Amino acid sequence: MPSPQVLQPVLKMKVDELFLNWLSDTATQSLLKDYLDLIKSGQHIDMSSGDAQDKRSLTFNENNNVVSQRNLAEKKPAPLGTPSSPPSASTLPSGSSSNTRMTGPNGRVLRRSVSTKKAQVRTEKPVTTALSESIPKFYFPKGRPQANINIDSLISKIEKIFAQFPNERATIEDMGQVAKACECPLYWKMPLFYLSGGDRTGFVSVHKFVAMWRKTLQTCHDDASKFVHLLAKPGCNYLEQDDFIPFLQDVVNTHAGLAFLKEAPDFHSRYMTTVIQRIFYNVNRSWTGRITCTELRKSNFLQNLALLEQEEDVNQLTEFFSYEHFYVIYCKFWELDTDHDLYIDQKDLVQHNDQAISQKMIERIFSGTVTRDRKVYKEGRLSYADFVWFLISEEDKRTDTSIEYWFRCMDLDGDGVLSMYELEYFYEDQCQKLETMAIEPLPFEDCLCQMLDLVKPEVEVTVADARTHFPVGSLIMS
């Protein structure tokens, strides 16, 4: 889909807009009316007399009837300590703020720069107010630092644990004790092991681990930032899908509820793929393919991860780690993947749920608008990872991600709103299905009115409207 064209401002239109705003001001109109009356009577404005605060210049040329109008003469400088008011913007035409003109005794127009007045303002004494006080730091991308944390005490506990191991070296089997000494959930052990270099040597020395963990405690101040720091690639402050593989492989290898998978290694990668897609489906609300600390804080993934240590039955953790959910998803994919190459095409997906998905919607799914792999559009094939997103969105249309999934499919031009033409485009397919079943479809205009009455959009139907009225939004997406 081509990227939208960047809008370029039209300078002339903006200048015209500013001029009309100035011209429509009441004070401007009153001033121009007074000057016009004086011009009609042929009078000349003498600036040598009168109050300096009300002096205005006006030069009338009788030969060509040209009026040269300029701003108010500058006011008398106020004493230091009292801020002087700048000239009213409502009485200044566009482009006249840089200079002012005054008529001298000989009728010559004298130019005086406004910068003189600005210089006077700058020399005034600064006003001491509460606004000048320093604003305390309020943005903590890696968590708010804890004032009462004693890093040396935590390091001492870790060193005592390492003292129990031969040569003060911990293997992956020992990392559970180390993780608990770090006051981390049990299944943080593999990320801790990897970041300390254990994947290269097969063990972690106390010196390497202490140096790594001390730096982590000094820079990361909450669980979300620590978890991202442990799993992310060097120099990255976000998590990508492949960052979860070592961590999930350890869960598969060591969790009691997944012990039966030791005899079926072929299912390891399929289960981990399902869990990773469910993590990104629920956590990565920005659809970037990169989970940030902020997104991790807003989700409940870390809480579910901590429950893995307490819950022996992974099927009770239905949001991410359930093996039963994985098995159902994979079986549905296996039924559609008739050649079992782990890819399905449009003809395969049409068979899903007794051909419940319309052909136009299937074409939109394969267009790449809701898939991360660009090969889907080029090769016309859907991978198992993309099928996980499709099936979760199809089974539960009440979640924010599901509503946005189907909204993206229906938003043909990608402008963020559903137009009447887009809705009618997909409604035509449904009408054809109803007619084949000898059911008279509701006219589209009536259906559209009912939908707008339910959604109540402010202007156009946006994804925010669908989320706000999520029962209605899920009905529309159906």
pLDDT attached to residue 125? 60
pLDDT attached to residue 430? 87
Other C-beta atoms closer than 10 Å to the C-beta of 162 total 21
Burial zone of 212 (CB within 10 Å; 0-12 exposed, 13-18 middle, 19+ buried):
middle
Tell me: do 331 and 459 sit in the same domain. Answer: yes
pLDDT attached to residue 294? 95
Amino acid at 217: L
pLDDT attached to residue 466? 83
Amino acid at 350: V
Question: Residue 82 domain-assigned?
Answer: no
| H-helix or E-strand spanning residue 68 | strand 66-72
Tell me: do 32 and 97 sit in the same domain. Answer: yes
pLDDT attached to residue 478? 57
Question: Residue 62 domain-assigned?
Answer: yes
Nearest Cα neighbor of 335 from 320, 319, 349, 318 is 349
Residues of the chain scoring pLDDT < 70: 1-10, 45-133, 470-478
pLDDT attached to residue 112? 45
Question: pLDDT for 140-164, tens place per residue?
Answer: 888 888 878 889 999 999 999 999 9
CB 182 within 8 A of CB 192: yes
Tell me: do 164 and 94 sit in the same domain. Answer: no
Domains in the chain: how many in total? 3
Residue ending a domain, among 295, 314, 333, is: 314
Tell me: do 267 and 247 sit in the same domain. Answer: yes
CB 238 within 8 A of CB 232: yes
HSE-CB of 322 using CA atoms within 13 angstroms: 13
pLDDT attached to residue 89? 43
Residue ending a domain, among 280, 314, 348, is: 314
Integer Rg of the chain from CA: 35
Other C-beta atoms closer than 10 Å to the C-beta of 475 total 14
Tell me: do 309 and 345 sit in the same domain. Answer: no
Q: Where do the DSSP E strands lie in 138-210?
A: 169-170, 204-205
Instruction: For residues 98 and 256, give the distance between their C-alpha atoms in angstroms, rounded to a whole number.
Output: 77
Question: pLDDT for 409-464, tens place per residue?
Answer: 999 999 999 999 999 999 998 898 888 888 888 899 998 898 888 888 888 888 88
Instruction: For residues 18 and 24, give the distance between their C-alpha atoms in angstroms, rounded to a whole number.
Output: 10
Residue partners of 192: CB distance under 8 A and separation at least 6: 175, 178, 179, 182, 184, 209, 213, 230
- Domain of 429, in residue numbers: 323-477
State the CATH number of the domain containing residue 227. 1.10.238.220
Length of the chain: 478
Residue partners of 139: CB distance under 8 A and separation at least 6: none
Instruction: For residues 251 and 189, give the distance between their C-alpha atoms in angstroms, rounded to a whole number.
Output: 10
Q: Where do the DSSP E strands lie in 16-63?
A: 56-61
Amino acid at 111: R
Question: Residue 405 domain-assigned?
Answer: yes
State if pTM tops 0.85.
no
CB 358 within 8 A of CB 433: yes
